[in-house]
Chains A and B, each alone.
Chain A
Amino acid sequence: MPNKETPQNTREVLQSRAKALAKPVHRQETAEAEETIETLTFLMADEDFGVELRFVRAILPLKQLTPIPGVPAHISGVINVRGEILSVMDLRLLFELKSGAAAASPYVMLLSSPDMVFGIQAQKITGIQHIPINTLQPGLPTITGVREKYLKGLTDSGMALLDGEKLLTDEDLLVYQTTD
């Protein structure tokens, strides 16, 4: 420890913290003039992703995941959320991202629409950002297939904004099969 803990130091630390907290609020107020998308940002396989906040019902720590047999690989299993059984997806498999212990996914984001509710596993929840719509860029020509299908755009910071609506409505993701 470089500095000793004295009342004076404590006060200084507290002051600097107060200033730091004060600034973003001020900046957010200035950015309010433009039209923004409220986005929940998260990490998945060390990559930045985002999803529109309005499709997000809640964030939960992933607990008691029950694997389901006879389902596609991207369906991790089901969880119990206050008595409601919901399916959980691992988008890493869908997006062909690296998977393994190094990039664990301890969180689950519940996406919901009036017709559909399911969870997406996340490595880390980084926060909520207000992304101006004009800064949003379409997907790169190199991004094709499944990625392109569920991607809404990229921010200038390189975050991939997922299309929540498509995810919720896409029939491909649904599993409705009966076993013979």
Chain B
Amino acid sequence: MLRWYSKRIMAKLTTQFFIVGLIPLVLLGGITYFYSRSVIEAKAFNHLSAINDIKKQQIEQFLDSGMKNLEALSRSQQLQNALAHKAYREMSPLLQYFVKIFDYRHIYLLSNTGALLHEVSGQNNKEGSKPGAEVYTDALTRIRKAVQKADAQVMSDIIQPENAAHASMFMGTPVYDNAGNQLALLIFQIDAAQINDFLKGSSGLGKTGRTYLVGSDYLLRSQTYSLDKSESLKKKIQTMAVEQGINNKGGTQRITDYRNTAVLSAYEGLNMKERFGTDFNWAIISQIDASEALGMLNRLGLNIVWTILVLMVLIGAVGYFQSRVLARPIRSLSYHIMAIDEGNFTMEMPEDYKSRGDEIGMLVKSFAKTAKKFQQQIKQLSKSTRQLLTSTSQISTTASQLATSASETSSSISEVTTTVEEVKQTSQLASDKAEHVYKSSENTSKISLAGKQATENTTAGINRIKEEMNDIAESTIKLSEQTKSIEEIINTVSDIADQSNILSVNASIEAAKAGEQGKGFAVVAQEVKSLADQSKEATTQVRAILGDIQQATSTAVMATERGSKTVEEAIELAEQSGVAIERLERQVNESSDSASQIMASNQQQLSGMDQLSQAMESINDATQQNLDGVKQLEEAIKGLEEFAQTIREIISRYKV
């Protein structure tokens, strides 16, 4: 089975190498082939149309220059003078010169009725011994009629009468004198070989490249490489390219030509009708055999196929050897592993695999190292298992001790829980007291507020008293002033009394002077004096009383002053008491705050105690779990001992 797998790896790898190599090669080859083909074809077409265009322009220029020469000659004064004087012989040098320079076959001068007035022939173009006019009679008549009909320059198609050796084309024009009278007709005969010269030769086109002209009747107007000279004007070529060209449409196309051969063809019309006013048209066609143009492409394809085949053989060989190098050590490694599986560590890997520098070598080396390590570890494991057995018995002892201590912890926890409960009750009591303090301090705060109000009222009352005192002081001062005016009055009265006294004394004196008659008057005077004395006495009494009043008023003033001082002191005291009450209020508020804080902290303490109680319960649970755990541990240790025994048995199976 293992052999089959190893073979399979080799087959797989070889096949994959083959496929992976083949796909890009084929793709690359194909793409190169098809791309090259399109490029070469496009290049060939471009080349063909360029050559076709050049040749077309050459022909057009040739025809154009012919027509212009005709016109120039027809308008020359010399010709007109010669015609006017019928001295046709005089024309010969000029016409000879034209024929020589432009290599025309013949130049004819015809009268209006068709009679030949004069003929000049080229040196090498004589139709045997006959003059041209005899050979081309029909052609000349046709062109004369066409000129006369159009009354302008006319060009004919290439023709070859039965008796003519060469194909020619004709150009004709009427000749006028200065008065505008038609004097004669001037006709050029041009050899078709001159046009054929432009098309001859395959330079730039390769072996099979040709250019040819075809007329409106699909008959060939020039020679082609595969046709004889005589085929001109006889071979009918009716291809798609010709039809397009005659209709003045240019382009390139891959077609089958008159020889049934595949060719690349470029075609164009000469547009004769518009340029030269003719009733016919020519198409110019350049072509090359597809086999020649694309021959290089076939060679390229063959080369590509050969290269691919050689490369595939190479790739297959490399794939086979590489997979073999990989698969062999892997097979050896598998045998080794199978041996280890059966408990045999004594096998050794071949040295040539170990000494390899690549990944396989590393794998084999590391595997050998791992196997050795594994062997040592099994030895150690055997030793460790023995130690494990000893340790488990020790652990068993420790676990029973642990169980005892856990039960002790449990009883301690229940004591702590009781204590926590007591603390909780105490803090509840403290909280109640704090609440009581808080309430009573609130009451005190209210009372102190009332006290503050009362103090303020007192201050206001005392202020009123102060005002009253001030009024009293003012009144007393006024009274004092008034006693002064009373004193003045008393002084006046005293003065009056004094004067009365003097008056009475004087009266007495007068009475004494009167003697006996004045005695009664003396009595009256005495009376008046005594009244004055009494008045004086009364004034002294009043003055004494007034003095008493003044003393009393000054006492009153002093008393009011003292009173106002006392009132001020009272105000101060009232203010002090107000301040004291405020302070009291603040203190009360502070104590109220403190009480509420105490309440809050007590509440927190209570919740803390609750949490503590819960925690204690959790600890209790945990301790219980510990106890259970210890029991489980004891069981587990038993399991462990059994496990160690099992390991010992397993290890004893290995050959180390």
- A contact set with B: CB distance below 8 Å: 1, 17, 20-21, 24-25, 28, 38, 40, 53-54, 56-61, 107, 125, 127-128
* Contact A127:B505 (CB < 8 A) given known A25-B523, A54-B512: yes
Q: Which of A21, A54, A57, A60 contacts B530 (CB 8 A)?
A: A21
Minimal beta-carbon separation of B525 from chain A (angstroms): 8
Are B509 and A58 in contact, with the CB atoms below 8 A? yes
Are B508 and A53 in contact, with the CB atoms below 8 A? yes
Q: Which of B529-566 contact A (CB under 8 A)?
A: 529-530, 534, 545, 548
Alpha-carbon distance A74/B545, docked complex (angstroms): 41
B545's nearest neighbour on chain A, judged by CB, is: A1
A21 surroundings in chain B (CB, below 8 A): 527, 530
30 pairs of residues in contact across A and B, judged by CB atoms under 8 Å: A1-B545, A1-B548, A17-B534, A21-B530, A25-B523, A38-B512, A40-B505, A40-B509, A53-B509, A54-B512, A54-B513, A56-B509, A57-B509, A58-B506, A59-B502, A59-B505, A59-B506, A59-B509, A61-B502, A107-B502, A125-B501, A125-B502, A125-B505, A127-B505, A127-B529, A128-B505, A128-B508, A128-B509, A128-B512, A128-B529
| B contact patch SS | helix
- B contact set with A: CB distance below 8 Å: 499, 501-502, 505-506, 508-509, 512-513, 523, 526-527, 529-530, 534, 545, 548
Output the residue of B501, B523, B527, B534 with the most chain A CB within 10 A. B501
A25 surroundings in chain B (CB, below 8 A): 523, 526
Alpha-carbon distance A56/B513, docked complex (angstroms): 9
Alpha-carbon distance A38/B526, docked complex (angstroms): 13
18 more A-B contacts (CB under 8 A) besides A1-B545, A21-B527, A60-B502?
A20-B530, A24-B526, A24-B530, A25-B523, A28-B526, A38-B512, A40-B505, A53-B508, A54-B513, A58-B509, A59-B502, A59-B505, A61-B499, A61-B502, A127-B505, A128-B508, A128-B509, A128-B512
Alpha-carbon distance A8/B457, docked complex (angstroms): 51
B522's nearest neighbour on chain A, judged by CB, is: A128
Minimal beta-carbon separation of B550 from chain A (angstroms): 13
B495's nearest neighbour on chain A, judged by CB, is: A61
Alpha-carbon distance A124/B471, docked complex (angstroms): 46
B501 surroundings in chain A (CB, below 8 A): 125, 127
B534 surroundings in chain A (CB, below 8 A): 17
Are B512 and A53 in contact, with the CB atoms below 8 A? yes
A54's nearest neighbour on chain B, judged by CB, is: B512
Minimal beta-carbon separation of B549 from chain A (angstroms): 9
Alpha-carbon distance A54/B530, docked complex (angstroms): 22
Minimal beta-carbon separation of A9 from chain B (angstroms): 14
A53 surroundings in chain B (CB, below 8 A): 508-509, 512
B548 surroundings in chain A (CB, below 8 A): 1
A61 surroundings in chain B (CB, below 8 A): 499, 502
B499 surroundings in chain A (CB, below 8 A): 61
Alpha-carbon distance A20/B548, docked complex (angstroms): 27
4 cross-chain pairs, A with B, having the tightest CB-CB distances, nearest first: A128-B508, A53-B512, A59-B502, A56-B509
Minimal beta-carbon separation of B109 from chain A (angstroms): 194
B513 surroundings in chain A (CB, below 8 A): 54
Alpha-carbon distance A54/B510, docked complex (angstroms): 9
A17 surroundings in chain B (CB, below 8 A): 534
B526 surroundings in chain A (CB, below 8 A): 24-25, 28, 128
B512 surroundings in chain A (CB, below 8 A): 38, 53-54, 128
Alpha-carbon distance A57/B529, docked complex (angstroms): 18
Alpha-carbon distance A56/B506, docked complex (angstroms): 9
Alpha-carbon distance A56/B523, docked complex (angstroms): 18
Minimal beta-carbon separation of A127 from chain B (angstroms): 6
A1's nearest neighbour on chain B, judged by CB, is: B545
A127's nearest neighbour on chain B, judged by CB, is: B529
Alpha-carbon distance A59/B509, docked complex (angstroms): 9
A20 surroundings in chain B (CB, below 8 A): 530
A58 surroundings in chain B (CB, below 8 A): 506, 509
Output the residue of B502, B509, B526 with the most chain A CB within 10 A. B509
B506 surroundings in chain A (CB, below 8 A): 58-59
Minimal beta-carbon separation of B503 from chain A (angstroms): 9
Minimal beta-carbon separation of A6 from chain B (angstroms): 16
Minimal beta-carbon separation of B483 from chain A (angstroms): 13
Minimal beta-carbon separation of B546 from chain A (angstroms): 10
Alpha-carbon distance A28/B534, docked complex (angstroms): 19
Output the residue of A1, A20, A38, A127 with the most chain B CB within 10 A. A127
Alpha-carbon distance A160/B501, docked complex (angstroms): 21
B509 surroundings in chain A (CB, below 8 A): 40, 53, 56-59, 128
Alpha-carbon distance A114/B324, docked complex (angstroms): 202
B541's nearest neighbour on chain A, judged by CB, is: A1
Minimal beta-carbon separation of B612 from chain A (angstroms): 94
Alpha-carbon distance A1/B544, docked complex (angstroms): 9
